[in-house]
Structures are given as structure tokens and as C-alpha cells.
Amino acid sequence: MFNKAAILKAILLVCTAAALAGSFSYGYYYAKPPMHSYVQQDPLQDIKAMEQKAAQNPNDADLLANLGNAYFDYGTSLRDGGSNDDANSFFAKAAAVYQKALDLKPNQVGIETDMGTALYYSGQPDQAEAAYKKAVAMDPKYINARLNYGIFLLYQHMDRKGAREQLTAALQLNPSGDIRNKIRTLLADTTEGGAPNYTNDIEPVLFQGCASCHGPGGVMARAPLYTYYTVMKFVTPGDPKSPLLQKMKSGHPVKQKTETIDLIERWIMAGAPGPQ
């Protein structure tokens, strides 16, 4: 059973230095970016100074985003220390300031995504979902928006299908290695019963049904299917239109059993994880 604790651990923290400058790149999945100096030393004093500066410059969107990140970071430190109620108030402040920044400077997908996470952490899941949806619509190629929304759907709504769509889209945007591996792990959670194991489940099926033709010396040796790395030339993780699966479904060259096709499809849709 999914629970709120799971999503609180899973949602991406994306208050990066780039976001402070108004240039939003995707951040670090499952890992909090390094705390800014105001968090490492005297956060409340520095936050108060930032509040005063923001009050003097109410139309500075970047300054407001900076303040929102300060609230977010401090809320995170409080939550990590077990002070959830105090943390929630700072996440709520972060969300409010992010909204002000967006009012001044619309269509900033990084801020919209950060606001969604702040809203979720402050106990406003409906508003968080609206922010994630808006961020995805704003820039469908922004990995953080896809990733956060997928995590939200998976753990908050237990919507495996919707989560799989978002996570698959994020995976197809070719994220860096660590993030790609985390997305594949999440995709396994979107599949009933978890992901099939390549070594125990997939490799034996391919060896028995495909390797005689698609192995060394076989009539289809130019399309090898005898190692994970060669198999992955014909598989796009999370993509039901992967050539390997489509060939199996078409019945070429030998009709595959329904349970075999279902197994391969579950493995692909779970991110096609490799040998353990």
C-alpha cells in the first residue's frame, strides 16, 4: 500500500542555484541539492534579510524565487529534523512566494514545478497536482515536471497507468545515468507485481525462443538477442512500441505464447531493468 511517507521521500527537490538565477535546469533525483549558505549558517537571520529586501523590491521575480527557495530549504531542514508542523509552514510560504514570482514572470516551468512540490509538502495535494499539470503542459520536455508528476500520481493517487505515462516520457527525454536508473526503479512500481527479473525471467525466454536464430551463427545473427546489451538495441524502456515487443506480437517468425509476450511487455514497461 502506498502512503504519504513514501511520496514525501520520493518527490524531487529542485531548488537549484540555476533556478535562483532564473535559468531552470533539471536537478537531482532522490537527492537534495547542497544547501545554500543561508541554510548552513544562520538561516532565519538570512531569511529575514531576504524578506526585507523582497519587501523593498516587490516586483523582482528572481528575488522572490530566491526567497521561495530559502523557505523551501529551511522547511526541508526542519522536516528532516522531525519538526513537520513548522516545516509545513515554511513550505506554504515557499509556495506563496513562488506564485508571486510567477505572477510577475509567467511561464517559468522550474518555478511552477518547485511550487507543486512546496504545495504538496504543505499539505495541499490538489493544488500541487494542478501545478504539476500546468508545468507539464508548459514544457513537455522538462524532466523534473514529468518526474515529479509521475511520482505524485504513483504514490498519492496510486494511479499506475498515469504515473507510467509521465515516467516513460521522462525516461525518453534521455536523463543522466543516475536519474535514468531511478526512473526505471519507479517504473517497476507502476507494474503489478513489480518488474520481471532479467536474469531469472527474461533471459531464459529469449534464450529458448530467440537465440537459435538471433545468436552467433544464426540466420538472424545481425540482430542478436543473446545478451542484455544486444537486446537493448531493440528495446526502449517504457515504450510498448519497442521493436522486440512488436515483432513478438506480430508473430514473426514463430508465434509467441501470450504469457511470454505479457512477460516481455511487463519487463519493458517497468523500465527494462538489467541483470542484478
Domains and CATH numbers, the chain: 4-189 (1.25.40.10), 198-269 (no CATH)
> Digits of tens for pLDDT over the chain (276 positions)?
444 444 554 554 443 323 322 323 223 223 334 444 444 567 899 999 999 999 999 999 999 999 999 999 999 999 888 788 889 999 999 999 999 999 999 999 999 999 999 999 999 999 999 999 999 999 999 999 999 999 999 989 989 889 988 998 898 888 887 888 888 778 877 876 667 888 888 888 888 888 788 878 878 878 888 889 989 999 988 787 889 888 888 866 667 788 888 888 888 887 888 886
- Whether the bond into 253 is cis, omega within 30 of 0: yes
**Residue pointed to by grid coordinates 524565487:** 65
Query: What is the reported pTM?
Result: 0.69
Give 87's contacts (C-beta < 8 A, 6+ positions apart): 75, 76, 78, 79, 121
Convert 189-236 into a string of H (helix), E (strand) and C (coil): HCCCCCCCCHHHHHHHHHHHHCHHHHCCCCCCCCCCCCCHHHHHHHCC
Between the alpha carbon of residue 272 and those of residues 36, 136, 155, the distances in Å are: 37, 25, 21
Give me the helices (H) in 41-83, please. Answer: 43-56, 61-80
- The distance between the two most distant Cα atoms of the chain, rounded to a whole number of Å, is 75
Residues in a beta bridge with 198: none
Determine the 3-state secondary structure of 12 from DSSP: coil
pLDDT at 25: 29
pLDDT at 137: 97
DSSP-derived letter for residue 3 is -
DSSP string, 229-258: HHHGGG--TT-TT-HHHHHHHHT-SSPPPH
Give 143's contacts (C-beta < 8 A, 6+ positions apart): 26, 170, 173, 175, 179
